[in-house]
Structure formats: structure tokens, C-alpha cells
Structure 1
Amino acid sequence: MQLPIEVWQGCSGYWQSAFIRENLLPLGHVAWQGYRAQGRGLVACDVKTAKAASVNWSNDMVTYQARYIPAAEVPDYFKVQSLKADYVDRLMDAVQTYRPEGELLIAIAHGGSVEINWLRNLTISPPDCYRQVCNRWDEFTLDPRSGRRCNNND
């Protein structure tokens, strides 16, 4: 018998996959919007929840801030995260070779550590995430004053 993802991730302390699964549309939106405006880069996600490993992903709201880091700023971002230079070099290779139209690079920071994920073979591409969030903007924002974060030509 295989345990539900919420149970085994909670027990092992590994929660990042569930976080990505639950937030893929807005993360893909940030990735595609950032790529179109600034070229290659990655999505940096700062998770604010105190105990992310014990979240009930079906019910609990996880507070996070996502932003796009263009390639030129990626080394500085990882320097602040205290990543070793050889890791940064390998990550820069990934930034230069990933396929933005079908893949997603994401750094998830929480509790003083950072995990990098290179998502491939996505069931929904970053451009599709962008379009879905744009078309359903009211579902993704709690502030009615925020306006649309999408180009009207999309």
C-alpha cells in the first residue's frame, strides 16, 4: 500500500514536491512572465510557513513570495543563500540550457536552506500556466486593487 503524498512527505520532512504541485500555475506564470521580460533565469520562492513539513496540503494555506531572478542576477542570489561556488557554476549551466517554453527552474528557500528543482516534462507548460492565470486572475489574487499582471496581447 502506498501512502498519500501528504502523509509520506510530512513524515520524511520533504514537502517541496507538494508545494510545487499545489502552486504550479502561479509559479509557471511567474516563470513565463519573467522569461519574456528578462530572458533566461529562475523562479525564487521564499516560503514563509513556519513548519512546511507538517502542512496539510489539502486544507492549509502556505504563504510564499515568488519572484523571477534573471540569469545575470542568479549568482548574487545564490551567494546570499550561501551556496558554494561550484554549485552556482553548475546551476548557471542549467539556467543557460533549460527550455523555458517547457521547463521550469525553481529555487525554494525555507528555514535557512534552499532547494533547487529543474522541472521537466511538465503536464502544463509555463506559457500555458501564464495564460491560465491571466484568464482566471481573480482566482489567484486576494487584492482587488492589484490589477491584471498580464499583457493584453496574450
Structure 2
Amino acid sequence: MKLKDSDWQGNFGYWQKSFIHNNLMMIGYAAWRGFLQHGRGVVICEVDRQAIAPSNTGLTVTPFQSQFIAEQELVTSIQAFSLDQELISVLAQAIGNYAPDREIVLLMKMEEHIEINLFQNLKIFPPDCYSQVSRRWEEFQPCLETQTR
């Protein structure tokens, strides 16, 4: 779901695609770790405004925080994001139907802007992301602080 706000899309097009591409391993890691600990859920990435700055080349690390919200905690935990009931229903349906070992439900938030994605047909699956990041944690640690609820 794309928002209409042109600021969200940045000066050089749709920045989310580059952000996700650069951080897919950590997003997959957070998704699988959360699933192992709590079952189905959604990865939430809170991205700093500098991700859409014209000076961001995509080669620099874009700071973000990630948390995993389990399906059973969704309604109470998601209230802080001010989603309307229709979006909560869409998100709950996606969480209830995705394949955790092959897909990722991702909610991206920058300030008041929110985007929900269901990633399918991934080149690397969440269990593989988890395995690789766990083995090479030092390489990935600077870009993400994960939380699980």
C-alpha cells in the first residue's frame, strides 16, 4: 500500500525499495526470530527521516529500529501507530495467512507515514536470513536494534 504523500516518496523516487533491498537480511532476521519466539506476527521498522534525504545514496547505512509484534498482541500494540480499523483488519488478515518460513509481513513507519507490505517470492527466506545474520552479527549490528514483543 503506497501513501499519496510525495514527501514519503522522496526526491529521487520510491526510497522504500532501496531501503528494503539494503536491509532485507536484518528484516528477515527479525521476522524469523520473532516467529521462533512468538509465532506469527509483523516486523515493524521505524525509519529515520534521513532515509529519504536527497544526499542518501543508498550506500550509507540508514538508521532504523525494528520490533516484532506477535499476532496475539497486534490489537493492543498497534494502537500507538494510529491505524484505522480497516488497515488493522488488512494487517491482521495478512498475518493470519502468510507463510513465516517464506514470507514477511512488514510495517514501515517514518514519523506519521505508514506502509504495510507482504513480501513473497523472496530470494532469501527468513530462516536463511536469521542463520546468516546470527553467524555474521558484527557485520549487521550497527544498522539495527531489534525488539520483540
Normalised TM-score (structure 1): 0.79
**Deviations 1:97-126, CA, capped at 9 Å, x for gaps:** 000000001111002111011000000000
Unaligned runs of 5+ in 1: 1-7, 147-154
Paired residue type of 2:91: L
CA contact (8 A) 1:49 1:64 kept: no
Size of the aligned set, in residue pairs, is 134
Q: Deviations over 1:113-148 (max 9, x none)?
A: 110110000000000000000111121124xxx9xx
Runs of 4+ in 1 over 6 A off after TM superposition: none
Matches within 5 A, 1:67-86: 67-86=67-86
Q: Return the alpha-carbon distance in structure 1 between the equivalents of residues 113 and 25 of structure 2.
A: 24
Greater relative contact order (Cα 8 A, min sep 6): structure 1 or 2? 2
Amino acid at match of 2:116: I
Provide the C-alpha distance between the structure 1 equivalents of 2:28 and 2:105, rounded to a whole number of angstroms: 10
> For structure 1, which segment, 84-93 or 21-30, has the greater mean C-alpha deviation from structure 2 after superposition?
84-93
Deviating more after overlay: 68-77 vs 29-38: 68-77
Q: Distance in 2 between matches of 1:38 and 1:137?
A: 22
Aligned partners of 1:15 and 1:53 also within 8 Å: no
TM alignment of 1:1-154, pairs within 5 A: 10-12=11-13, 14-50=14-50, 52=52, 54=54, 55-58=56-59, 60-142=60-142
Query: Alignment identity in percent?
Result: 34
Larger Rg: 1
Specify the code of the residue in structure 2 equivalent to 1:57.
G
The answer for unaligned runs of 5 or more in structure 2 is: 1-8
TM-score normalized with structure 2 length: 0.82
* Residues in 2 aligned to 1:107 and 1:79: alpha-carbon distance in whole angstroms: 13
Using a 3 Å threshold, how does the CA distance of structure 1 residues 48 and 9 change in structure 2: closer, same or farther?
closer
* Aligned partner of residue 11 in structure 1, secondary structure: coil
Assess, with a 3 A threshold, how the Cα gap between structure 1 residues 81 and 99 changes in structure 2: closer, same or farther. same
**SS at 2:109 equivalent:** strand
Q: Is the 8 A contact 2:43 2:106 kept in 1?
A: yes
CA contact under 8 A between 1:30 and 1:67: conserved in structure 2? yes
Shift of 1:9: 6.8
Aligned to 1:4: none
